[in-house]
Chain A
Amino acid sequence: MEFSFSVTGPPKVDLKDSYDVVVIGGGPSGLTAAIYTSRAQLSTLVVNKGAPGGLVATTEWIENYPGFPDGVAGAELGRAMQNQAQRFGTEFASGEPEEIHLAADPKVIRVAGQDIKARAVIIATGTTPKKLNVPGEREFYGRGVSYCATCDGPFFADKELLVVGAGSSGVQESGFLAKFASKITIVEFLPTIQAERILIERFKKTGKGSFLLNQEVLAIEGEETVTGVRVRDRDSNEEKLIPAGGVFIYVGLEPQTEAFADQLKLDQWGYIEVDSNLRTNVEGVWAAGDVVSGATRQIAAAVGSGTIAAIEVEHYLSSKS
């Protein structure tokens, strides 16, 4: 048996009343920004609702982030980034901001009932898995419908699973699910597989998987738990029920910008619009990482974006004081 032990610094109990920089979001872009601003001796608070690394923490294994020739566990990478920020004095609050006033000067963010002032804000809230929006999806959430293979994979030992979405996430996480499941069918809306070739080949090697392309998912069916998924072939219009003990959904991501929707300029999909220096339309507010309109959603790109935002914030604050 092998065990890992995630050592993440518990959040500080006593938050200060004001910080030079408040970063909202603790994924790669937010944590990188915090490493830079803290190291520049700007007092920095990261408000993070989830695990260190954000969505990265739900990725089992990462192979395309430079510096790790053998790859690195998503959880491990997120944690290392958080520890690095902590080393330079970044403070952490867990949870979601309850209120945000970006136009004010200083800006005010309410966390756990406490109003915190910030001279500058970096929004790095990233994205969250998209829902399919089909009947049964909500009803069977936690009873066979899941968006997190690393979380819930162990509950599906020897079961037949259906994964929706043949993008890189769907195919990669199917590879992980193959450790548990007896059989995996990946259903894709488009007529082609979008995932990276290396992931497809690895998935095929598990010997447990197959693809079903050009299929629209109509409904998730079940009784106590999921028993199957109804799909429609987009060419023949033929409908059929694929038996499955669980459904994992990887149909893309959507931005987490609801909390600022009325305060910042967003694009038509809800991502934050910025200029080339990652400034938003509100003075003193930057956006970084996957939440930025047009972002290349990769960890290395998010890290770069967090760096740019942090350096811009440093310039801004030193010119102000």
Chain B
Amino acid sequence: MGMLKDEDKKYIREQFDEKLKGPVKILLFSQKLECEYCQPTEEILTELSELSDKITLDVRNLQIDSDDAKQFGVDKVPAIILLGEQDKDYGIRFFGIPSGYEFSTLLADIIDVSNGKSDLPEKMVDKIAAIKTPVHIKVFVTPTCPYCPNAVRAAHKIAMANPRYIKAQMIESTEFPHLANKYAVYGVPKTIINERVQFEGAMPEAAVVEQVLSALEEPGA
């Protein structure tokens, strides 16, 4: 038996048929040893990629393909990157298995990447598109946190609005305890922007956009 239930596969297939436009490549960085979650992540992504002919799965190895890993800023596994038409990188990153509630985040992200846009309101997109310095957003989650997908989606939509400068990561806290520890994560979702701004909880998208902008202000300005 696969990881997805038949009824869920049917539902996802219908959603993909209806909503996918362009191709989406799921790039998975993995490794065979010392990665408890790599194998199940590859399994679920394999099943998912079989649900639409617009989706392909490309599995790379963190060590063997270290140049690629470096290019995409991948330093831990499993790592997922969604690429759109002509392998366009939209800045969307998942570190750790997208299970539980985060699976729905992945589905929604795939649909957005396939369409080349999210539903972020134009006013916010304009503000984000005007950013000309690098932004790194980390969103710590647990798979059992129902508030977390909104925080991850907000970060990913913001990255999509300016992928050249903005990269947004989902980080599954239980898989990367050293990171959760480093950033003192005791509650999720917790969002960290450019190591300067951090906040707990799922904020409305407009508020997250403001947090991103505030992270870019000069200290004391």
Contacts and interface: CB of A to CB of B under 8 A. Distances in A.
B184 interface: yes
Nearest to B124: A113
A190 B174 CA distance: 36
**Of B100, B103, B146, B185, which is in contact with the most chain A CB atoms at under 10 Å from its CB?**
B146
A18 interface: no
A155 B145 CA distance: 12
A17 interface: no
Interface in A138-153: 141-146, 148, 150-153
Contact of A155 (B12, B103, B123, B180): B180
Contact of B123 (A10, A83, A113, A144): A113
Interface residues of A, number: 43
A112 interface: yes
Interface in A238-257: 246
A49 B153 CA distance: 13
Interface residues of B, number: 49
A55 to B, nearest CB: 9
A58 interface: yes
Nearest to A51: B146
A13 interface: yes
Contacts of A83: 11
A11 interface: yes
B11 A146 contact: no
A75 B15 CA distance: 20
Interface in B188-205: 188, 190, 200-202, 204-205
A246 B186 CA distance: 9
Contacts of A151: 142, 144-148, 187-188
A1 interface: yes
A287 to B, nearest CB: 23
B150 interface: yes
Contact of B187 (A7, A75, A141): A141
29 contacts: A1-B36, A3-B100, A3-B143, A4-B100, A5-B99, A5-B103, A6-B100, A7-B104, A8-B104, A9-B11, A10-B19, A10-B108, A10-B111, A13-B119, A50-B147, A51-B146, A95-B204, A112-B119, A113-B123, A141-B187, A142-B187, A142-B200, A142-B201, A146-B186, A148-B147, A150-B145, A151-B142, A152-B145, A155-B173
Given A3-B40, A83-B11, A154-B142, 12 more contacts: A4-B99, A4-B143, A7-B103, A8-B107, A50-B146, A51-B101, A113-B121, A141-B201, A142-B201, A151-B145, A151-B148, A155-B186
Interface of B: 3-4, 8, 11-12, 15, 19, 36-37, 40, 44, 97, 99-104, 107-108, 111, 115, 119, 121-123, 142-150, 173-174, 180, 184-188, 190, 200-202, 204-205
